[in-house]
Amino acid sequence: MLSPAHVINHSGGIARGTFLQRFGLTRFHVARAVRDGTVVRVRRGVFATDRTAPELVAAAAHGGALTCTAALRMHGIWVPDDDPDLHVWLGENGRVHHTGCDCVSHWFEGATVLGLAPLEDALVHVYACRGAEAFFVALESAMRQRKIGSARLLRARLPASARWLIDLARYDAGSGLESLLRLRLHHLGIRLDCQVKIEGVGRVDFVVGGRLILETDGAEHHGDPAQRHRDLQRDAAASARGFETLRFDYAQVVHDWRVVEAAIIAALTRAS
Protein backbone atom coordinates (compact mmCIF):
# COMPACT_ATOMS: atom_id res chain seq x y z
CA MET A 1 0.00 0.00 0.00
CA LEU A 2 1.19 3.50 -0.76
CA SER A 3 2.07 5.59 2.27
CA PRO A 4 0.15 8.83 3.02
CA ALA A 5 3.38 10.84 2.63
CA HIS A 6 4.04 9.34 -0.80
CA VAL A 7 0.55 10.15 -2.04
CA ILE A 8 0.65 13.70 -0.67
CA ASN A 9 4.10 14.43 -2.13
CA HIS A 10 3.00 13.20 -5.55
CA SER A 11 -0.23 15.22 -5.38
CA GLY A 12 1.33 18.65 -5.07
CA GLY A 13 2.27 18.56 -1.38
CA ILE A 14 -1.23 19.16 0.02
CA ALA A 15 -4.14 16.70 0.19
CA ARG A 16 -7.49 16.30 1.85
CA GLY A 17 -8.21 13.20 3.88
CA THR A 18 -11.05 12.35 1.50
CA PHE A 19 -8.54 12.32 -1.37
CA LEU A 20 -6.24 9.95 0.52
CA GLN A 21 -9.14 7.56 1.02
CA ARG A 22 -9.22 6.96 -2.74
CA PHE A 23 -5.90 5.15 -2.31
CA GLY A 24 -7.18 2.96 0.51
CA LEU A 25 -5.65 5.15 3.21
CA THR A 26 -7.97 5.26 6.20
CA ARG A 27 -8.00 7.70 9.08
CA PHE A 28 -5.95 5.18 11.02
CA HIS A 29 -3.19 5.19 8.38
CA VAL A 30 -3.12 9.00 8.26
CA ALA A 31 -3.16 9.36 12.06
CA ARG A 32 -0.23 6.94 12.33
CA ALA A 33 1.70 8.95 9.72
CA VAL A 34 1.03 12.13 11.69
CA ARG A 35 2.32 10.46 14.87
CA ASP A 36 5.53 9.27 13.22
CA GLY A 37 6.15 12.72 11.71
CA THR A 38 5.96 11.84 8.01
CA VAL A 39 2.68 13.74 7.62
CA VAL A 40 1.63 17.10 9.07
CA ARG A 41 -1.98 17.96 9.86
CA VAL A 42 -2.45 21.47 8.43
CA ARG A 43 -6.01 21.79 9.68
CA ARG A 44 -8.91 19.44 10.09
CA GLY A 45 -9.02 17.09 7.12
CA VAL A 46 -6.06 18.70 5.32
CA PHE A 47 -2.54 17.27 5.33
CA ALA A 48 0.99 18.04 4.12
CA THR A 49 4.45 16.53 4.59
CA ASP A 50 7.81 17.87 5.74
CA ARG A 51 8.72 18.27 2.07
CA THR A 52 5.79 20.60 1.31
CA ALA A 53 6.75 24.22 0.63
CA PRO A 54 5.88 26.44 3.63
CA GLU A 55 3.94 28.81 1.36
CA LEU A 56 1.63 25.99 0.27
CA VAL A 57 1.11 24.91 3.88
CA ALA A 58 0.25 28.47 4.91
CA ALA A 59 -2.16 28.89 1.98
CA ALA A 60 -3.90 25.59 2.82
CA ALA A 61 -4.12 26.61 6.47
CA HIS A 62 -5.74 29.84 5.32
CA GLY A 63 -8.29 27.90 3.30
CA GLY A 64 -7.18 27.64 -0.33
CA ALA A 65 -4.42 27.56 -2.94
CA LEU A 66 -1.37 29.75 -3.29
CA THR A 67 -1.82 32.22 -6.17
CA CYS A 68 -0.64 35.53 -7.66
CA THR A 69 3.07 36.40 -7.52
CA ALA A 70 4.11 33.78 -4.95
CA ALA A 71 2.49 31.05 -7.05
CA LEU A 72 4.10 32.35 -10.24
CA ARG A 73 7.52 32.22 -8.58
CA MET A 74 6.90 28.59 -7.66
CA HIS A 75 6.03 27.92 -11.30
CA GLY A 76 9.44 29.40 -12.22
CA ILE A 77 7.97 32.60 -13.65
CA TRP A 78 9.77 35.93 -13.33
CA VAL A 79 7.88 38.55 -11.32
CA PRO A 80 9.12 41.71 -9.57
CA ASP A 81 10.15 41.12 -5.97
CA ASP A 82 8.00 43.91 -4.54
CA ASP A 83 5.11 41.76 -3.27
CA PRO A 84 6.09 39.59 -0.28
CA ASP A 85 2.49 38.89 0.79
CA LEU A 86 0.89 35.47 0.62
CA HIS A 87 -2.10 35.51 -1.74
CA VAL A 88 -4.64 32.72 -1.32
CA TRP A 89 -7.30 31.69 -3.84
CA LEU A 90 -10.38 30.66 -1.87
CA GLY A 91 -12.67 30.08 -4.84
CA GLU A 92 -16.10 31.61 -5.06
CA ASN A 93 -17.51 30.04 -1.90
CA GLY A 94 -14.44 29.34 0.24
CA ARG A 95 -13.87 30.58 3.75
CA VAL A 96 -10.92 31.76 5.78
CA HIS A 97 -9.59 29.38 8.44
CA HIS A 98 -6.53 31.39 9.49
CA THR A 99 -6.91 34.00 12.22
CA GLY A 100 -4.58 36.93 12.77
CA CYS A 101 -2.57 36.23 9.59
CA ASP A 102 -1.29 38.57 6.88
CA CYS A 103 -2.63 36.48 3.97
CA VAL A 104 -4.43 38.26 1.13
CA SER A 105 -7.71 36.45 0.39
CA HIS A 106 -9.07 36.19 -3.16
CA TRP A 107 -12.57 34.94 -3.94
CA PHE A 108 -11.94 34.61 -7.67
CA GLU A 109 -14.27 32.37 -9.66
CA GLY A 110 -13.86 28.62 -9.41
CA ALA A 111 -14.10 25.89 -6.82
CA THR A 112 -11.95 25.94 -3.70
CA VAL A 113 -8.72 24.06 -4.34
CA LEU A 114 -5.58 23.43 -2.30
CA GLY A 115 -1.89 23.53 -3.12
CA LEU A 116 -0.50 25.61 -5.99
CA ALA A 117 -2.86 27.43 -8.33
CA PRO A 118 -2.40 26.31 -11.97
CA LEU A 119 -0.24 28.65 -14.02
CA GLU A 120 -3.02 30.08 -16.19
CA ASP A 121 -5.18 30.75 -13.12
CA ALA A 122 -2.28 32.47 -11.35
CA LEU A 123 -1.71 34.68 -14.41
CA VAL A 124 -5.37 35.72 -14.53
CA HIS A 125 -5.34 36.34 -10.78
CA VAL A 126 -2.19 38.46 -10.89
CA TYR A 127 -3.81 40.71 -13.50
CA ALA A 128 -6.87 41.21 -11.29
CA CYS A 129 -4.74 41.73 -8.20
CA ARG A 130 -1.56 43.52 -9.35
CA GLY A 131 -2.51 45.00 -12.72
CA ALA A 132 -1.16 45.10 -16.25
CA GLU A 133 2.58 45.33 -15.57
CA ALA A 134 2.81 42.35 -13.23
CA PHE A 135 0.65 40.32 -15.62
CA PHE A 136 2.62 41.28 -18.73
CA VAL A 137 6.08 40.48 -17.37
CA ALA A 138 4.82 37.16 -15.98
CA LEU A 139 3.08 36.33 -19.27
CA GLU A 140 6.21 36.94 -21.34
CA SER A 141 8.28 34.93 -18.86
CA ALA A 142 5.87 32.00 -19.22
CA MET A 143 5.87 32.34 -23.01
CA ARG A 144 9.67 32.51 -23.16
CA GLN A 145 9.91 29.26 -21.21
CA ARG A 146 7.16 27.65 -23.32
CA LYS A 147 5.18 26.97 -20.14
CA ILE A 148 1.92 27.98 -21.77
CA GLY A 149 0.74 26.87 -25.19
CA SER A 150 -1.04 29.75 -26.84
CA ALA A 151 -1.31 32.98 -24.87
CA ARG A 152 -4.41 33.76 -26.90
CA LEU A 153 -6.32 31.18 -24.90
CA LEU A 154 -6.09 33.62 -21.99
CA ARG A 155 -7.91 36.33 -23.93
CA ALA A 156 -11.40 35.20 -22.95
CA ARG A 157 -10.41 35.19 -19.28
CA LEU A 158 -9.25 38.81 -19.28
CA PRO A 159 -11.36 41.97 -19.38
CA ALA A 160 -11.76 43.30 -22.91
CA SER A 161 -9.70 46.35 -21.93
CA ALA A 162 -6.70 44.13 -21.11
CA ARG A 163 -6.60 41.88 -24.16
CA TRP A 164 -4.16 44.13 -26.03
CA LEU A 165 -1.49 42.86 -23.62
CA ILE A 166 -1.80 39.42 -25.20
CA ASP A 167 -1.23 40.92 -28.65
CA LEU A 168 1.84 42.86 -27.46
CA ALA A 169 3.47 39.86 -25.75
CA ARG A 170 6.40 38.11 -27.44
CA TYR A 171 8.11 34.73 -27.04
CA ASP A 172 11.62 36.16 -27.39
CA ALA A 173 11.72 38.57 -24.45
CA GLY A 174 15.12 38.08 -22.87
CA SER A 175 14.09 38.88 -19.30
CA GLY A 176 11.38 40.31 -17.11
CA LEU A 177 13.20 43.64 -17.07
CA GLU A 178 13.04 43.77 -20.86
CA SER A 179 9.32 43.06 -20.73
CA LEU A 180 8.73 45.83 -18.20
CA LEU A 181 10.84 48.34 -20.11
CA ARG A 182 9.09 47.57 -23.40
CA LEU A 183 5.61 47.86 -21.89
CA ARG A 184 6.38 51.20 -20.27
CA LEU A 185 7.89 52.62 -23.45
CA HIS A 186 4.88 51.33 -25.40
CA HIS A 187 2.70 53.50 -23.16
CA LEU A 188 4.89 56.47 -24.18
CA GLY A 189 4.41 55.69 -27.86
CA ILE A 190 8.07 54.72 -28.33
CA ARG A 191 8.58 51.86 -30.78
CA LEU A 192 11.35 49.36 -30.06
CA ASP A 193 13.12 46.84 -32.26
CA CYS A 194 13.71 43.84 -30.01
CA GLN A 195 16.65 41.43 -29.84
CA VAL A 196 18.59 43.12 -32.63
CA LYS A 197 21.85 41.65 -33.92
CA ILE A 198 24.44 44.32 -34.75
CA GLU A 199 27.56 43.32 -36.64
CA GLY A 200 30.64 43.69 -34.48
CA VAL A 201 28.54 44.18 -31.34
CA GLY A 202 26.30 41.14 -31.05
CA ARG A 203 22.68 40.86 -30.02
CA VAL A 204 21.29 43.78 -28.01
CA ASP A 205 18.02 44.04 -26.09
CA PHE A 206 16.49 46.98 -27.97
CA VAL A 207 17.24 49.53 -30.67
CA VAL A 208 15.19 52.74 -30.82
CA GLY A 209 15.18 55.07 -33.79
CA GLY A 210 17.93 53.12 -35.52
CA ARG A 211 20.74 54.52 -33.34
CA LEU A 212 19.88 54.21 -29.65
CA ILE A 213 20.63 50.89 -27.92
CA LEU A 214 18.84 50.06 -24.68
CA GLU A 215 20.21 47.26 -22.49
CA THR A 216 18.79 45.90 -19.23
CA ASP A 217 21.21 44.35 -16.76
CA GLY A 218 19.77 41.81 -14.33
CA ALA A 219 21.11 40.62 -11.01
CA GLU A 220 23.61 38.30 -12.72
CA HIS A 221 25.62 41.37 -13.81
CA HIS A 222 26.17 42.61 -10.26
CA GLY A 223 29.64 41.99 -8.87
CA ASP A 224 30.91 40.30 -12.04
CA PRO A 225 33.98 42.21 -13.32
CA ALA A 226 34.29 39.95 -16.38
CA GLN A 227 30.69 40.68 -17.41
CA ARG A 228 31.20 44.37 -16.77
CA HIS A 229 34.30 44.31 -19.01
CA ARG A 230 32.37 42.56 -21.81
CA ASP A 231 29.59 45.13 -21.54
CA LEU A 232 32.10 47.99 -21.84
CA GLN A 233 33.65 46.34 -24.90
CA ARG A 234 30.22 45.99 -26.53
CA ASP A 235 29.33 49.60 -25.73
CA ALA A 236 32.62 50.83 -27.23
CA ALA A 237 32.09 48.73 -30.36
CA ALA A 238 28.56 50.13 -30.68
CA SER A 239 29.80 53.68 -30.28
CA ALA A 240 32.36 53.13 -33.04
CA ARG A 241 29.45 52.21 -35.31
CA GLY A 242 27.45 55.33 -34.46
CA PHE A 243 25.23 53.96 -31.68
CA GLU A 244 24.61 55.41 -28.23
CA THR A 245 24.03 52.83 -25.51
CA LEU A 246 21.95 53.33 -22.37
CA ARG A 247 22.19 50.56 -19.82
CA PHE A 248 19.78 50.16 -16.87
CA ASP A 249 19.67 47.74 -13.95
CA TYR A 250 16.77 46.23 -12.00
CA ALA A 251 16.60 48.96 -9.34
CA GLN A 252 16.47 51.72 -11.95
CA VAL A 253 13.74 50.16 -14.08
CA VAL A 254 11.56 49.02 -11.19
CA HIS A 255 12.11 51.74 -8.59
CA ASP A 256 13.47 54.80 -10.41
CA TRP A 257 11.54 54.80 -13.67
CA ARG A 258 11.28 58.59 -14.00
CA VAL A 259 15.06 58.86 -14.31
CA VAL A 260 15.12 56.03 -16.90
CA GLU A 261 12.32 57.64 -18.90
CA ALA A 262 14.02 61.05 -18.87
CA ALA A 263 17.34 59.55 -20.01
CA ILE A 264 15.72 57.73 -22.95
CA ILE A 265 13.70 60.75 -24.09
CA ALA A 266 16.81 62.99 -23.87
CA ALA A 267 18.85 60.49 -25.92
CA LEU A 268 16.11 60.31 -28.58
CA THR A 269 15.98 64.10 -28.69
CA ARG A 270 19.74 64.29 -29.25
CA ALA A 271 19.51 61.74 -32.04
CA SER A 272 16.70 63.54 -33.88
pLDDT digits (tens, 9 = 90+) for 108-137: 999 999 999 999 999 999 999 999 999 999
The SS3 call for residue 131 is coil
Q: Which long-range contacts (CB under 8 A, 24 or more apart) does 91-96 make?
A: 91/64, 94/63, 94/64, 95/63, 96/62, 96/63
Q: Which conformational region is residue 115 in: left (phi greater than 0), alpha (psi within -120 to 50 degrees), or beta?
A: left
Q: What is the pLDDT of residues 146-172, one digit of tens each?
A: 998 777 778 889 999 999 999 999 988
Number of helices and strands (H, E) in the chain?
12, 11
Average confidence (pLDDT) over 51-69:
96
Q: For each of the domains in the chain, give its residue range(s) and CATH number, in order of start.
A: 1-52 (no CATH), 54-169 (no CATH), 172-272 (3.40.960.10)
Average confidence (pLDDT) over 29-40:
96
pLDDT of 219: 57
Mean pLDDT for all residues in the chain: 92
pTM comes to: 0.89
More confident residue, 33 or 239: 33
Q: Strands, DSSP E only, in 95-211? A: 104-106, 115-116, 193-198, 202-208
Q: What is the pLDDT of residues 210-241, one digit of tens each?
A: 999 999 986 555 567 888 888 889 989 888 99
Q: What is the pLDDT of residues 41-53, one digit of tens each?
A: 999 999 999 999 9
CA dist 256 and 88 (Å) reads 30
